[in-house]
Amino acid sequence: MTVKLGIPSKGRLMEKTFDWFGKHGVTLRRTGSEREYSGAVADIENVELVLLSAGEIPRELAAGRIHLGVTGTDLVRERLALWDAQVSELIPMGFGHADLVLAVPACWVDVDTLDDLDAVAAQFRDRHGFRLRIATKYHRLIRDFLRQNGVADYQLVDSQGATEGTVKNGTAEAIADITSTGETLRANHLRLLSDGLVLRSQATLFSTRSETLNEEDRATLRAFVARLDPAGNG
């Protein structure tokens, strides 16, 4: 079997991943046309490059169909239940930084903390007859975070794009989404809760915990990771 390395297949995340590996002495390159999701790891035997969407990489790692993968910590923790039993977090790569946060309308001047949100949610249900809606695509992470912080009277509304616009459009009362600068939140008249940071995310190299490699291939994987992180700081 060949050790398979999965990296994002397009955009700045792919470019930055290629650059990061290059700075660590490993050349990655695409093979074929831009429409072909194939690539190669130069000058290293028994390591194959697989191009996937960032969202697919957690699932493929967990299943053992790839053995190393670059994706965001937010995607791994959202897509995989008990994620650290399925994958190992090896090396934070220092790019793709973003925060998963809870935000409310800026006009909610008395809502600054999760306790405030809990109180408003209870009042909202009494007044409107349904639960306060929070738009997000991070259902697992937000459910766990709110449960841990004692917020109960809410419902999650699925949003796979333009989440910041859901409050203005009247389909949600609050949102939970990824932000890097906060500018889009402010442009949509939203404000972070002071204790509403759910997760700090960045691009990270993960390995599978699935036992799909023989001892020779595991040795190849260990040597490859050691080449990327010789000081063992990952």
Beta-strand ranges (E) seen in 167-227 are 174-179, 190-201, 203-208
What one-character DSSP code corresponds to residue 145? H
Min mean pLDDT across 41-55, 91-105, 117-131 is at 41-55
50-74 b/e (C-beta count within 10 Å ≥ 16 → b): bbbebebbbbbbbeebbbbbbbbbb
Q: Which CATH superfamily is domain 98-201 in?
A: Periplasmic binding protein-like II (3.40.190.10)
Which CATH number does 3-96+202-228 carry?
Answer: 3.40.190.10
Alpha-helical segments (H) within 139-182: 139-148
Mean pLDDT of the chain: 92
Quick one: how far is CA 101 from the chain centroid?
A: 13
Range among 4-13, 135-144, 159-168, 221-230 with highest mean pLDDT value = 135-144
pLDDT of residue 141: 98
Could you count the other beta carbons within 10 Å of the beta carbon of residue 12? 10
Is the pLDDT confidence value at 126 over 60? yes
Q: Name the segment(s) of the chain with CATH classification 3.40.190.10.
A: 3-96+202-228, 98-201
The average pLDDT across 73-80 equals 97
pLDDT of residue 39: 75
Is the pLDDT confidence value at 13 over 80? yes
Closest CA to 13 of 61, 75, 72: 72
